[in-house]
Amino acid sequence: MNAATRKRRPRPKPRKSAAPTPRANAQPAAARGRTWLVAGALLLLAAGASALLWPGRGDAGGHAAPAGGDPARSAQPQAAAPASSGPARLRVRVHARHPHDPQAFTQGLLWDHGQLFESTGRVGHSSLREVELATGRPLRQAPNAAGLFAEGLALVDGELFQLTWRDQRALVWDARSFQLLREIAYEGEGWGLCYDGHQLVMSDGSAFLYFRNRSTFAVERQLLVTRDGLPQRALNELECASGKVYANVWQSDEIVRIDPDDGVVDAVIDAAALLPDREGADVLNGIAFLPDSGRFLLTGKLWPTTFEVSFEPER
């Protein structure tokens, strides 16, 4: 009840001097007046409390939630509640160094049963490659169409899915013959791609991951990635490994480890020590998991070296 309401509270009417004799079970008039006043006050208090707690139907601001539209485009990042403890801080420990083609603008990297596959980007230079790890030279190479800018790469049942940046086309290749099998259209930009054993996981440079059907490439789920309760943007090259999603953060030397159930970044890997001299090289980009050793291969765009590493707590 506000102040104005309290000021306007009606006073009980004065009792008449000659009131009729009340019935045996009748409530005195004064008591009835007091009862109605108390009941009215309680009703006003309840109404005010309801208005404060539920100002409108929909969100907390009284606006109804938007309906319809493409869920992959209409959802906006919302800050989540900060976790009680931040992500673990990890660093890279280098176990081996392998040559890498310094002309390869690495966009996607993956390892499968002793074979290293790489997707390289830039218009006029994009390609799909099988690379010899020991020498860095391409064993096989299939150039992309002249106007395409290739991006992330994933392997599903003998087929290589290769994204394109702004061409909105996924190219599907036969992993054995390097023959182009088909193309799949999608909306938006393509950045990173990996396969978690059930779905293809895709990034588009935002703070979202998109879980796509392995056959149709349709978006089946989208996930907001948060770090310390805030959206983690610029997610780039992806690697699915041991139930987690690893992502390069574009234009940084960080790799984030993401829980695919809730989108929380549970570890941040500092890889700045890998290539201190960046003359002629671009950003860190390229993650491949080696399941036999539990290690990872890391490289970057135009890097001369591919590093075989493990992730350890910071000292």
Task: Return the half-sphere exposure (C-beta side, CA atoms, 13 A cut-off) of residue 245.
Answer: 34
Match 């293809």 to its residue by tokens: 200
Contact (Cβ atoms closer than 8 angstroms) between residue 140 and residue 130: yes
Residue 311 tokens read as 């992730």
Residue 137 tokens read as 């030279």
Contact (Cβ atoms closer than 8 angstroms) between residue 79 and residue 231: yes
For the stretch 222-275, pLDDT in tens is 999 999 999 999 999 999 999 999 999 999 999 999 999 999 999 999 999 999
What DSSP designation does 253 have?
S
The reply to whether 2 falls in a domain is: no
The reply to whether 194 falls in a domain is: yes
Q: What CATH number does residue 264 fall under?
A: 2.120.10.30
The structural domain count of the chain equals: 1
For the stretch 23-79, pLDDT in tens is 333 444 444 444 433 444 444 334 443 333 333 323 333 333 333 333 333 344 444
The reply to whether 129 falls in a domain is: yes
Residues 6+ apart with CB under 8 A from 269: 90, 91, 92, 246, 254, 255, 256, 257, 311
Q: Model's pTM, two decimal places?
A: 0.74
For residue 219, the enclosing domain spans: 82-313
The reply to whether 38 falls in a domain is: no
